[in-house]
Structure 1
Amino acid sequence: MPSINNLDKLFRKRIQYSSADPVTFQDLDIILEKMANHIPFENVCIVEGRSRKLTKDNLLNKMLLMNEGGLCYELNSLLYLFLIESGFEASLIQGAVYDHALGTFGRIGRTHVAVKVCHEKQYYILDGGFGGNIPMKPVPLSGETVSSANGEFRIRAGKTAYGDYRLEMKLKHKDTDWRTGYAFDSKRTIKDVRFLDDVRVTVEEHPDSPFNKHLLLTKRTDDGSVTLTDTSFTQWEKGNVKKSEINSEEYQELLNLWFSQADKKDPK
């Protein structure tokens, strides 16, 4: 079994990033895109009751050796550790996701985690753990709009109960107007992933958590995205969506096809 000490090499292998050159800020677009394609956003270990404390070793073992995915606090903590090792000035931030069905921020508080990076005296948010809403590009705090295969994204200054900024999005093929993704506090930064273990506990145990009741796995593909639950499979491809109800046997087949050893090429 490979050593978890070699974070840089293992991360590049997991996301199929073949370059061995030092990572520059200009490389972050492709890093984020490859991460979205190869490390799924998923809650399997929570539903199966085998979650572990949030530590560097546990994160690397789960996602780089066992080839599993994770939720925002796992995915973005892993991204943060890779960026720090690559020499970036980075930290972790917490935010509260906006619940559009309720018309307010989520009831479980600041449980969204993302990465803040400083480059040439400008600050950016990198987010590899926002499910189907990931920007796949650094989003500047300056308010400038960035565009990716997943849509348009921007950050707006504005005080809420959860911080001083909001990430807004207009997802491709899904949104016609801007909508709030989450609010976050840019000043409350975290440097040690272990300090986010209370986020993990809340997501796993809070009665209003959307991630402790039913299986959910999603990731980007070359042409869109796939989402698997214990009862349905949804595939977006070139703006067209197909959703089908599934049984437990079909769930296992789709899990093996799309999400097992997610560093393999996407099935065609």
Structure 2
Amino acid sequence: MVSERQATGFDRARYLDRIGAAVPVCADLATLGELTRAHLAHVPFENLDVQLGREPPATVDAIFAKVVEGGRGGWCFELNTLFGRLLADLGYRVTRLKADVRRGGDIADRPGNHLCLRVDLDRSYLVDIGFGGSITAPVEIAEGVGVDGPYAVQLADIGGGCWTFDETVGDGAPFGFDFATEPADEGVLDAMRLALGREDWSPFVQNLVMQLRRGDVHWTLRGRVLTHLTPTGKTTRLLGSADEMAAVGREIFAMELPEVDRLWRRAADRHDQLFGTG
């Protein structure tokens, strides 16, 4: 079952208000889907604490203070921890799962670089509001393919109690993660959470990332590049200033960016490093 992590400050009503969701009548599949979509539409995936050299919160109380009281977003270790606590509070059977995002050699070298959830109803479902917004509904843990807005999604059994999830946009390469259906080793998850927030090899240390999903529209800010993805296509825009980044934070991601001048300088420096100044 999901770890409650001494959640003395958790307030269900305030959390539901933060994600714009009604008080659920029962803990069923339909409600689980509504809560998932509401969360994705109101709480962005973001790694701004890591970019600012801060250690992201780990306890439910601290994450609640950041996301609900502070109007912020977070990454998988925060968002799925908090969402799992909400679901357990509502009566769902929730299990925290270790996952390995496929990013070069990361599966072999850095296992546990992602946290997702298993929710057991009449069947077992993958639930993940911490993968940036491509999974907007509970996915039955069974082999199959489907369409989720601008993404084609697929779940496949790879044996030994492990599965793989893939998302694909158009003719692009699939991107996803492998996950085990048994309860996660919390020590492995915590060690990787700390490493991803500190080490130079971490993509979260290297690049500013914000993502938000509303219906079939998926927004991503990666460094200076803002991407708008829909089922009909993709557009990009290169941000030109800290003021523009702050406006994007407010108008698209519905949050005030902390220390936006520092965030902008890091994003601009990284952009120059990758693409040059010309």
Give the TM-score range, shorter chain.
0.7 to 0.9
The question of 1:22 aligning with 2:20 is answered no
TM-score using structure 2 length: 0.79
**Compared CA separation, residues 230 and 169, structure 1 to 2 (3 A):** closer
**Compared CA separation, residues 243 and 4, structure 1 to 2 (3 A):** farther
Q: Note the alpha carbon deviations across 1:58-84, whole angstroms, 9 max, x for none.
A: 111111110111111111111110111
RMSD: 2.7
Give the CA deviation at 1:154. 3.3
Counting aligned pairs with the same residue, the percent is 20
Q: Is this contact kept in 1: 2:50–2:198, CA < 8 A?
A: no
Q: Note the alpha carbon deviations across 1:96-146, whole angstroms, 9 max, x for none.
A: 1112xx4874753221110011112x21110111114x2211112222434
Residue type of the alignment partner of 1:166: T
Distance in 2 separating the partners of 1:221 and 1:125: 20
Residue type of the alignment partner of 1:130: F
Query: After TM superposition, where is structure 1 displaced by more than 6 Å over at least 4 residues in a row?
Result: none
TM-score using structure 1 length: 0.82
Give the CA deviation at 1:52. 4.0
Secondary structure at the residue paired with 1:16?
coil
Q: Which of 45, 50, 54 is 2:49 aligned to?
A: 45
Secondary structure at the residue paired with 1:49?
coil
* Alignment correspondent of 1:249: 243
Q: Is this contact kept in 2: 1:111–1:202, CA < 8 A?
A: no
Higher helix share: 2
Structural mapping, 1:60-99, within 5 Å: 60-99=64-103
Q: Kindly tell me the number of residue pairs found equivalent between the two proteins.
A: 249
136-145 vs 79-88, which moves further: 136-145
* Alignment correspondent of 2:166: 168
**Compared CA separation, residues 165 and 238, structure 1 to 2 (3 A):** closer
Residue type of the alignment partner of 1:108: R
The gaps in structure 2 that reach 5 residues or longer are: 1-6, 257-278
The gaps in structure 1 that reach 5 residues or longer are: 263-268
Higher strand share: 1
**Compared CA separation, residues 19 and 148, structure 1 to 2 (3 A):** farther
